[in-house]
Each structure stands twice: as C-alpha cells, then as structure tokens.
Amino acid sequence: MKLAGFLLLPAGWVIVLSAIALLPPGLARGAFLLAGLGVEALGLVLVVRAHMPEPPPEGARR
C-alpha cells in the first residue's frame, strides 16, 4: 500500500504538469489540474494508512 501511494503521488503531479503544458487555458485545464490533485490526495491517503499501526485484535480489548 505504501508503494502504491508513493507511486500515485508523482503520478498525480505528472497529470497536473500535463494539464498546464498540454491544455489551453480554460475549464478543461482547471479540471485536469484538480483531477491530478485528487490523484495525489488518494496517494497520500494510501501512504498515511500504510503508516498507521495495526489496530489491536478484538479479543485483546476490554
């Protein structure tokens, strides 16, 4: 999960760069930029979850 997250982060960044480099000014450019940020956010979520400790097993709780 950690690796997937760290791959999604630069993937989202590349989408952002592609949007500003390849698309003309307008709605599509803004939409793709936000989509790239969304991919980054997903990657960050995966990285965060990969670093969170495992919850204790059910039987261990009182």
Site for other proteins in 18-57 (CB under 8 A): 20-22, 25, 29-30, 33-34, 36-37, 40, 43-44, 48, 51-53, 55-56
In whole angstroms, the minimum distance from the beta carbon of 1 to other proteins comes to 13
Cβ neighbour number for residue 44 with a 10 Å cutoff:
15
Residues that bind other proteins (CB under 8 A): 6, 9-14, 16-17, 20-22, 25, 29-30, 33-34, 36-37, 40, 43-44, 48, 51-53, 55-56, 60-61
